[in-house]
Structure 1
Amino acid sequence: MDANEGQSSDGDIASVMGFSGFGKKARTFDLDAIFEQTRRTAIERSQRVLEEREKDSQMKDPGESSHSVTNTSKSKVTSSRKQSDSSSDSNSDSEIGPPLPLQHQPEEEDEELVGPPLPPGYTGSTAHSDEDEEDEEEDQNEDDPVKKIPDTHEITLQHGTKTVSALGLDPSGARLVSGGYDFDVRFWDFAGMDQTLQAFRTLQPCECHQIKSLQYSITGDVILVISANAQAKVLDRDGFNVMECIKGDQYIVDMANTKGHTAMLNCGCWHPKTKEEFMTCSNDGTVRTWDVTKEKQHKAVFKPRSFQGKKVIPICCTYSRDGRLVAAGCQDGSIQIWDRNMSVHTKYHCRQAHIPGSDTSSIMFSYDGVTLASRGGDDTLKIWDMRNFKKPLNVANGLTNYFSMTDCCFSPDDKLLVTGTSVKKDEGNGKLVFFDRTTFERVYQIDVTNASVVRCLWHPKLNQIMVGTGNGLVKVYYDPVKSYRGAKLCLAKTKRKEKHTEMLAQDYIITPHALPMFREARQRSTKKQLEKDRLDPKKSHKPEPPVSGPGRGGRVAAHGGTLSSFIVKNIALDKTDDSNPREAILRHAQAAAEDPYWVAPAYTQTQPEPVFAEESDEDEDADKEPEWKKRKI
């Protein structure tokens, strides 16, 4: 069958079946023509570029330079042509794979193009889709750390009316704990909250002392509570007391000889590797490490000293990421770092890190452990290189700081540095400022609220930023695409409906002088009615208690699993009525007579036939006597 006949038959079938064809035909490409067009466009483009360069050079310096440029341009054009010709020759000589069929072999004599002309910007690739452009945009966004800041959405948690001075997130990011100047510690569970955003527990673990710091341990099972008291506390996840540090003797001069702190605490944190160890610093001029299992005495004491050897008060303290170093920011503006195993002499010491007399509110190691960031009370933010600790790498000025616990922290990718600014009342908005770690330029900022920004956390797993403010709010910034769980969980839950128990069902008209038959019953509140319904077993749907005894009301008591209950069930509680033993024996008489097996065959020759007494009529009359004539037994 010819091709034309096949096409006509296909057309006839298509017309009979009622559609236009059997689908789209596959597109065919002439690869040789495409390659030839690509080569020509490349040559033309190179010629155009060289001509433009030649014109520019003639405009700048006419003369000999123009000849040299034209000569070089001509040589470049000829060289490019030679290279293209050589590449085509080499491709023709070194063929890989089976040879092309005759209809696809290139014709050297025919230089006419086959197929539609390609666009002038064509560079040799068969297609340039929108997906490639999107991938390029995503790559650019990944390189830009500002694009990773999750600030498109926010929620507000109302802690109270006073400053939120402490924030803590557990390692999994499921629970948030906040503390403030109002002595309260509030527990927030993202998975358990609904859209009302209410804390599930509020307590005052340190009575009338302001909360300075809160932090979950590395396992997330306990919380370290640092207050304005001399004794630190450790609580479990539900707020119950686990341990309390001992208080030292305030009359001893050498603080190394006391078992605990003797003055107000300033800061504290957990060890990043050892789950039982934590650290505290106090106004008594010491930094102490503790063990949760040994609350009667500290583990080690670090005593910061000034240049003259005098006592210096540490304001903030932290561990390095590997837990080997202990760092403290002091009141005289110095930053002192010790080796954890050598508590006497400092390993790194910078005397003039910040202005003396200003409280260094926060120090934080980067995730790679190479740099250290310090937030000073002198309105500065500095970054230090641990390999050269004499002077800071970069300094940012003009960051107002009114609090001794203003935070600074690194982003999860270690490319940004974040801190908050303070403002006076009704003098502007507190801001969350983002700095590039390498250039230390202010790349981004967020206007939080009309109060100071005190605490800030950037959780690496959730990719959400928690901010504590000076007016009692906790702001949570997140991105629905870049963030995970956390604030996204509680917003997905609808608000629970409240029961209005004290509201009357309908209006009640009081008629005090009406007759009793026309007087309406006094309306009661639904609360009392609910209490009455609760006592009613039918209205409250009280479940029936288990049956005790043999059973009643058609219910059978469940038998136990003991041997005696098994015997009672199978042997003692037989359904047959054995009240008349004579009838019980005669019940089996016929079966024994017809098929004797045990006793009867042995007595067949000697045993007489049994004769039983028959009931007489007198006995029947005696049974019919009235009850009052029967003798009492």
Structure 2
Amino acid sequence: MDEEKLPSDGDIGAVMGFSGFGKKARTFDLEAIFEQTRRTAIERSQRVLEDRQKGPQMEEEGESSKSVKGPSQRDKTAARNQQSGSSSSDSSDSDSELVGPPVPPQHGAQEDELVGPPLPPDYRDNTANSDDDDDDEADAQDDDDDDNPVKKIPDTHEIILQHGTKTVSALALDPSGARLVTGGYDYDVRFWDFAGMDQALQAFRTLQPCECHQIKSVQYSITGDVLLVVSGNAQAKVLDRDGFNVMECIKGDQYIVDMANTKGHTAMLNCGCWHPKIKEEFMTCSNDGTVRTWDVKSEKQHKSVFKPRSQQGKKVVPTCCTYSRDGKLIAAGCQDGTIQIWDRNMSVHTKFHCRQAHTPGSDTSCLCFSYDGVTVASRGGDDTLKIWDIRNFRKPVNEANRLTNYFSMTDCCFSPDDRLVVTGTSVKKEEGNGKLVFFDRASFQKVYEIEVTNASVVRCLWHPKLNQIMVGTGNGLAKVYYDPVKSHRGAKLCVVKSKRKEKHAETLTQDYIITPHALPMFREARQRSTRKQLEKDRLDPKKSHKPEPPVSGPGRGGRVAAHGGTLSSFIVKNIALDKTDDSNPREAILRHAKEASENPYWIAPAYEQTQPEPVFAEESEEDEEADKEPEWKKRKI
């Protein structure tokens, strides 16, 4: 149907019997409203100017009226209103876009903005230059601080946390910065709470989650409720904030050739980290030549497998792994010196690949993405620190050499403002101090360094919220560097608390009961002081629980003498000390014959009625002669 044939609204209203379809929308004249608003603002500004100028002019008129009578106040006010009206109208015509009250006339001639009556001229002349100079110096100093990233390094103060005596190989802070976790070669994982510690700086919990395996890496999830612990075994663990086990990864079948067909790792783990966006996902890499992603809710099998390959297609061991800041890329540094980066959703072919990033055979100890997600920093086992642009991944943007690295987990990280790159250096025992070195990201010049201690600097962490630097060393120390002005919370919470006094176990004295009307024989002596009562109780063996002295002699009351701790040793000792000689048993038995015949006790009384009298044969002369014969003549029977 053509539009010309459609009936209009008026025709439809006439047919239906009403005038229109409801109320029409109101229309506003915006230009008229803006003009009215501008005029109202001009009038208000005129009133404000009149009120401000009334005060000083009335004082001047009062002084002049004493000497000479001038024009009336009403005439002055009218002239001033006319003048201000003309000036305001001129300003409004010249600057029609101005919305609000116009700028006072004095402000155009004066540099400083004043509220209230104007200051005397001499004050203005004396202070204008000094105020301007101070403001310029402050602005210049702020600009210098903004331009110079070295001044933002928080290293004026430090605290030392004693983890143990062996290398601190793992370091982690939760996202809020309230709790620090350290792990080391001594198999221990220690929890430090900044808000709960005092100046004693003691860990509130110590545990060994992986038994006799060195801790390689620890990291909190993005929510801070769980902790990933990677150790020298093939199974990573997830703990809650109190150290209780939440999940343990399954171990794979080590007899299967293709590692993609196993459900878990089959060799020692090297590194692990959480996904920066998904709180349930984490990643581990192992000596079995795979990088695997996991889900906390399903511990029976991994989510996906990434297999690094050499140029010849052979298996390569990944030594470190990390996510990009947005979580879309997965990067791994390998033993053959390559850096391989995959798309998280495409696990077969790499998206970025650099074949000769570091010296082949050296363990790449750390990979770290910058906060803008474009730059990657790599810390190699060949004593180098390199910066890469993933958009042009063939050669490094910058490189720093002669940074000694003896550990397979030496860290590198970016500053919170993304303008500095930080790493640690290693030293041999008693051959110098380990340093924390700062490089400018743009020029890659060494701009600052901190001598930490006389051992290697293994782990380093720069927390963006706290603005504090955590360092793990090779002699069992975890140092926290901070600045009272530039840093927030963290170590500042515990250094202001004094040490808690140790509670000494004291013997409680018996309560003294006051009985004023008791008889003298039942009245207790009044207690003068607690110390004297303690001394008296100490002399009382019952009140002081004095131990019984050792038994002297053979023992009494079921107690064995001091020469033997057990009954068997006591019996053996008594047998050894027995003086009787039992070499002739017949004589030993006949020794009791006279006593047994005179006072029978055991056998004779029982057979007293039925026992016959013994009759013995009498000895003859032949027997006596036979006894007198020598032994060799005796007849043998």
- Provide the TM-score with structure 1 as the length reference: 0.62
Judged with a 3 Å threshold, the aligned counterparts in structure 2 of structure 1 residues 199 and 126 are, in CA distance, closer, same or farther, namely: closer
Could you tell me whether the CA contact under 8 Å between 1:501 and 1:526 is conserved in 2? no
Correspondent of 1:226 among 227, 230, 241: 230
- 1:160 paired with 2:164, answer yes
Structure 1 residue 134 corresponds to structure 2 residue 138? yes
- Which of 239, 243, 259 is 2:243 aligned to? 239
The letter for the 1-side match of 2:394 is K
Indicate the residue corresponding to 2:303 in structure 1. Answer: 299
2:332–2:340 contact (8 Å) kept in structure 1: yes
Q: Offset at 1:503?
A: 8.9
Alignment partner of 1:314 out of 318, 332, 340: 318
* Conserved 8 A contact 1:502-1:525: no
Task: Tell me which residue corresponds to 1:603.
Answer: none
Amino acid at match of 2:540: A
**1:346: which partner in 2?**
350
Provide the C-alpha distance between the structure 1 equivalents of 2:478 and 2:104, rounded to a whole number of angstroms: 71
CA distance in 1, matches of 2:270, 2:104: 80
Is 2:63 the counterpart of 1:3?
yes
**Match for 1:157: what amino acid?**
L
Q: Partners in 2 of 1:353 and 1:430 — Cα distance?
A: 25
**Contact 1:168–1:177, Cα closer than 8 Å, also in 2:** yes
Which amino acid counterpart does residue 467 of structure 2 have in structure 1?
N
**Deviation per CA, 1:187-213, whole angstroms, max 9, x where unpaired?**
001111111110000000000000000
1:437 aligns with 2:456: no
Change (3 A) 1:4 1:217: same
Quick one: structure 1 residues 170 and 4, their matched pair in 2 at CA, closer, same or farther if it must change by over 3 Å? same
Q: Secondary structure at the match of 1:137?
A: helix
What is the deviation of 1:132?
Answer: 3.3
Q: Does 1:206 align with 2:210?
A: yes
| Alignment equivalent of 1:457, drawn from 455, 461, 468 | 461
Alignment CA distance shift 1:391-1:498 (3 Å): same
Flag the 1:422–1:521 CA change in 2: closer, same or farther, 3 A: same
Match of 2:398 in 1: 394
Q: Does 1:380 align with 2:384?
A: yes
Give the deviation of 1:347 after TM superposition.
0.6
Q: Does 1:421 align with 2:440?
A: no
Aligned length: 421
The correspondence for 2:540, drawn from 507, 521, 525, is 521
Please give the alpha-carbon distance, in whole angstroms, between the structure 2 residues aligned to 1:194 and 1:527.
38
Distance 1:300 1:315 in 2: 18
| Cα pair distance change 1:507/1:272, threshold 3 Å | same
Structure 2: how far apart are the matches of 1:98 and 1:210?
Answer: 74
Matched, 1:259 2:263: yes
Q: Which residue of 2 aligns with 1:62?
A: none
* Cα distance between partner residues in 2 of 1:518 and 1:354: 76
Cα separation, 2, equivalents of 1:254 and 1:467 = 39
Partner amino acid for 2:331? A
Q: Tell me which amino acid in the other structure corresponds to 1:392.
A: P
The equivalent of 1:277 in structure 2 is 281
- Among the aligned pairs, what percent are the same residue? 78
Alpha-carbon separation, structure 2, partners of 1:497 and 1:316? 45
Structure 1 residues 523 and 433 mapped into 2: Cα distance closer, same or farther (>3 Å)?
A: farther
Over 3 Å counting, the alpha-carbon distance change for 1:99 and 1:397 in structure 2 is closer
State whether residues 183 and 190 of structure 2, in contact with CA within 8 Å, keep that contact through their aligned partners in structure 1.
yes
Q: Is the 8 A contact 2:230 2:271 kept in 1?
A: yes
- Distance in 1 (CA, whole Å) between partners of 2:273 and 2:489 is 25
Maintained 8 Å contact 2:537/2:544: no
Change (3 A) 1:244 1:140: same
Deviation of the 1:131 alpha carbon: 3.6
Distance 1:525 1:320 in 2: 68
Q: Which residue of 2 aligns with 1:494?
A: 498
Relative to 1, partners in 2 of residues 1:127 and 1:276: Cα closer, same or farther, differing over 3 Å?
A: closer
Partner of 2:628: none
Aligned equivalents of 1:482 and 1:204: distance in 2?
Answer: 36
Which of residues 216, 229, 232 in structure 1 aligns to 2:220? 216
- In structure 2, the partner of 1:288 is 292
Contact 1:508 1:523 (8 Å CA) reproduced: no
| Structure 1 position 391, deviation (Å) | 0.1
Q: Answer yes or no: is the 8 Å Cα contact 1:365–1:373 preserved in 2.
A: yes
Which secondary structure state, in structure 2, belongs to the residue aligned with residue 266 of structure 1?
A: strand
After TM superposition, give the deviation of residue 3 of structure 1 in Å.
3.2
1:272 and 1:322 in contact (8 A); partners too: yes
Q: In structure 1, what is the Cα distance between the partners aligned to 2:189 and 2:178?
A: 17
**Distance of aligned partners of 1:321 and 1:130 in 2 relative to their CA distance in 1, 3 Å threshold:** same
Aligned-residue offset at 1:494:
1.6
Change (3 A) 1:476 1:127: closer
Quote how far apart the aligned CAs of 1:429 are. 0.4
Superimposed CA distance per residue, residues 60-112 of structure 1 (whole angstroms, 9 cap, x where no aligned partner) = xxxxxxxxxxxxxxxxxxxxxxxxxxxxxxx9xx9999999xxxxxxxxxxxx
- Residue 135 of structure 1 and its aligned partner are, at CA, apart by 2.6
Larger Rg: 2
Deviations 1:308-349 (A, max 9, x none): 111100000000111111100000000000111111111111
Residues 194 and 490, structure 1, Cα contact 8 Å, conserved in 2 = yes
| Stretches of structure 1 lacking an aligned partner (at least 5 in a row) | 8-90, 101-114, 511-516, 529-633
Superimposed CA distance per residue, residues 410-444 of structure 1 (whole angstroms, 9 cap, x where no aligned partner):
00000000000000000010000000000000000
**Alignment of structure 1 residues 405-420 onto 2, 5 Å:** 405-420=409-424
Q: 1:502–1:527: 8 Å Cα contact kept in structure 2?
A: no
Residues 365-412 of structure 1 show CA distances to partners (whole Å, capped at 9, x for unaligned) of 000001000000000000000110000000000100000000000000
Q: Give 2:486's aligned residue.
A: 482
Question: d(CA) in 1 for partners of 2:382 and 2:487?
Answer: 34
Q: Give the counterpart letter for 2:213 in structure 1.
A: H
The whole-number CA distance in structure 1 between the counterparts of 2:245 and 2:538 is: 59
Which residue identity lines up with residue 247 of structure 1 in the other structure?
K
TM superposition shift of 1:143: 1.6
Mapping 1:85-104, distance limit 5 Å: none
Amino acid at match of 1:168: A
Say whether the 8 Å CA contact 1:503–1:526 is kept in structure 2.
no
Contact 1:360 1:377 in 2 (8 A): yes
Q: Deviations over 1:89-147 (max 9, x none)?
A: xx9xx9999999xxxxxxxxxxxxxx99x99xx9x979514243123202211221000
State whether residues 316 and 334 of structure 2, in contact with CA within 8 Å, keep that contact through their aligned partners in structure 1: yes
Q: What SS is found at the alignment partner of 2:132? A: coil
Deviation of residue 519 (structure 1)? 11
The residue type paired with residue 426 of structure 1 is E
2:571 maps to which residue?
none
Q: Given that residues 291 and 306 in structure 2 are in contact (C-alpha distance below 8 angstroms), is that contact kept between their aligned partners in structure 1?
A: yes
User: Could you list the runs of 4 or more consecutive aligned residues of structure 1 that deviate by over 2 angstroms after TM superposition?
Assistant: 1-7, 94-100, 124-127, 502-510, 517-528
User: What secondary structure sits across from 1:377 in the alignment?
Assistant: coil
Is the alpha carbon distance of 1:398 and 1:202 closer, same or farther for their aligned partners in structure 2, counting shifts above 3 Å?
same
Paired with 1:518 and 1:159, the residues of 2 have a C-alpha distance of 44
SS in structure 1 of the partner of residue 172 of structure 2: strand
- Superposed CA deviations along residues 2-41 of structure 1, whole A, max 9, x for unmatched, are 738969xxxxxxxxxxxxxxxxxxxxxxxxxxxxxxxxxx
Contact (CA 8 Å) 1:153, 1:477: kept in 2 or not? yes
Determine if contact 1:230/1:262 at 8 Å carries over to the other structure. Answer: yes
CA 1:268/1:131 → structure 2, altered by over 3 Å: closer, same or farther?
same
Q: How far apart, in 2, do the equivalents of 1:233 and 1:211 lie?
A: 11
Which residue identity does 2:165 align to in structure 1?
T
Distance 1:524 1:144, change over 3 A: farther
**Superposition pairs of residues 39-78 of structure 1, within 5 angstroms:** none
Match of 1:80 in 2: none
Contact preservation (8 Å) 1:502, 1:526: no
C-alpha RMSD of the superposition: 3.3
**What runs of 5+ residues in structure 2 fail to find an aligned partner?**
1-60, 68-90, 96-101, 107-120, 509-529, 548-637
Q: 2:336 aligns with which of 304, 307, 332?
A: 332
Cα distance change, pair 196–250 in 1 and its aligned pair in 2 (3 A): same
